[in-house]
Amino acid sequence: MPYKDIEESRRMGREYQNKFRNSEYGKEKVRLYRLKKKYNVTEEEYENMLIAQENKCAICLDEFTSNSRHIQVDHCHNTKEVRGILCGTCNRGLGQFKDNPDLLKKAAAYLEKV
């Protein structure tokens, strides 16, 4: 079906993309694409990591539930190597400390003496 102009074509394309991304099928496809593209992790590798971690955050050990939206793949920003799967809170915490073990140790020492 030809469109009257390029703007109409773009609008229709955006509409289709939004519909796709908001569908359950589309969300899953986007998730799997990002796993592979960003972390070079297949769905099977991701599932194996979850099983190895007993479906829990590798740091705080909170269990992931079926409606957990903030399950995140943790990776080294220098080497891009995947370290594990974390909850959003723990992943952001590592980021706030710049993935620096020395800063995390100092923070732990600070908390223990207070």
Which pLDDT band holds residue 34 (cuts at 50, 70, 90)?
Answer: very high
Model pLDDT, residue 42: 95
End-to-end Cα, the chain, rounded Å: 70
- Domain 54-114 listed as CATH 3.60.15.10: no
**pLDDT of residue 3 exceeding 70:** no
Model pLDDT, residue 114: 75
Minimal CA–CA distance to 84: which of 43, 29, 46, 33? 46
Model pLDDT, residue 35: 93
Tell me the domain boundaries of the chain.
1-39, 54-114
